[in-house]
Amino acid sequence: MDGRVFVVFTFMFVSVYSNQVLLVSMDGFRWDYLTKVSTPNFDRLAQNGTKASYINNTFITKTFPCHYTIVTGLYEESHGIIGNKMYDPVFNSTFNMQNYETRWWNGGEPLWVTARRQNLKSATYFWPGSEAEIRGYRPNIWKHYNQSVPFKNRIDTVITWLTDEHIDLVNLYFHEPDATGHAFGPDSPQIIDKVKAMDKILGYLLDKFDSHNLTNKVNLILTSDHGMTTIDTANKIVDITDHVNMSKIQFPVDNGPIMQIQPSLGLIDDVVQSLQNVSHISVFKKEDIPDHWHYRNNRRIMPVFLLAEEGWSITTNKRKAALYHGKGAHGYDNRLNSMKPIFLARGPNIKENYTTNTFRSIDIYPMICNILGIQPAPNNGSLTATSSFLITSGTNDASANIVSFWTFILCTLLVIM
């Protein structure tokens, strides 16, 4: 009897993806804005997730440095974006917020680069640094900054990235309530109205999550870079030209809450001595900047550093400064309550209805790497600081982001006798 056996094997490839992350920044959202007005959608986010009263950001409390800290987990002296304006003595060049040359940004590895290096997809809808090529990478999708794009349009695009494109990590940036805080001050009726408006924007985002079944798939992390305080440039102003012979200074960089100074050769001590007894400012030689700011060990921090008392401003032209009619500023000591930002999070890896202890903005980077299951680059943060509200702590193994396995199924065993 001639018997033949036909064995047909069918294999099924299954990919189990890590949960996605949407990191949102609402610029200049001071922690206590949420106590000044009813915010039902922020409450909704907190009740379904985790909230900190505030987080401790880095010094200086400026937009570009603090945002780059959030996505690198590095102090500003470590990642090198030490101001919205800064001078690099090696480049002999000055940086401003329109500069996306790679050489300025390579001091840190942002989340979107960490993700791409480990075969995840990343996208940014505006974020400081995201327009630059960093360590050979850009996000898979990124946008040139355009402040005029309506907030709801930004959200609609991000939802498409999360659903249709299955982007693993998305960054989303809003320039409010920072712009309103600068114009009218943190205690103004206008900031109350803007916080209400941002609550509605958050509600729109949460509704989109619900309607697209993303609530149990995507970890939504909402934070900010810094707070805001009231200023008075007509009366609370320190003009350094009233106190130091400007021939002793090659050039200053920046103004307002902080100023950096490059003295003429051999005149550092002379400049410091001229300014050290001026009221309402603190003056430091670079090597004497306090350790707790982690703002000393970088070549872009200049030989003399000035910090204004809260609410005061530093200038080299008080007449010009008096023409500025803004009522709010930031950049001051990060230990001030007025400089501290918000933090809320919700998602499959986040505890519900939980209030966490205060942690640091440098701790956000390792937390997100943990959620995504990727190995973080060297950083100053600590995963322990956020572990109390993480439901699942990933392995931080680069292979953990996608678990692939073969399921063997014997479909047909046909024996023909």
Just list the catalytic residues: 63
Structure-derived torsion over alpha carbons of residues 208, 211, 217, 219, reported in degrees to the nearest 10:
20
3-state secondary structure at position 372: helix
Structure-derived torsion over alpha carbons of residues 379, 347, 177, 94, reported in degrees to the nearest 10:
20
Which amino acid, residue 181? G
3-state secondary structure at position 230: strand
| Cα(109)–Cα(378) distance, integer angstroms | 9
Which amino acid, residue 339? M
**Alpha helices (runs of H) in 252-361, residue ranges in sequence order:** 268-275, 318-322
| Cα(106)–Cα(135) distance, integer angstroms | 6
| Cα(139)–Cα(292) distance, integer angstroms | 33
Distances (CA, A) of 48 to 199, 235, 320, 342: 16, 46, 48, 16
The answer to whether 393 and 368 are in contact (CB under 8 A) is no
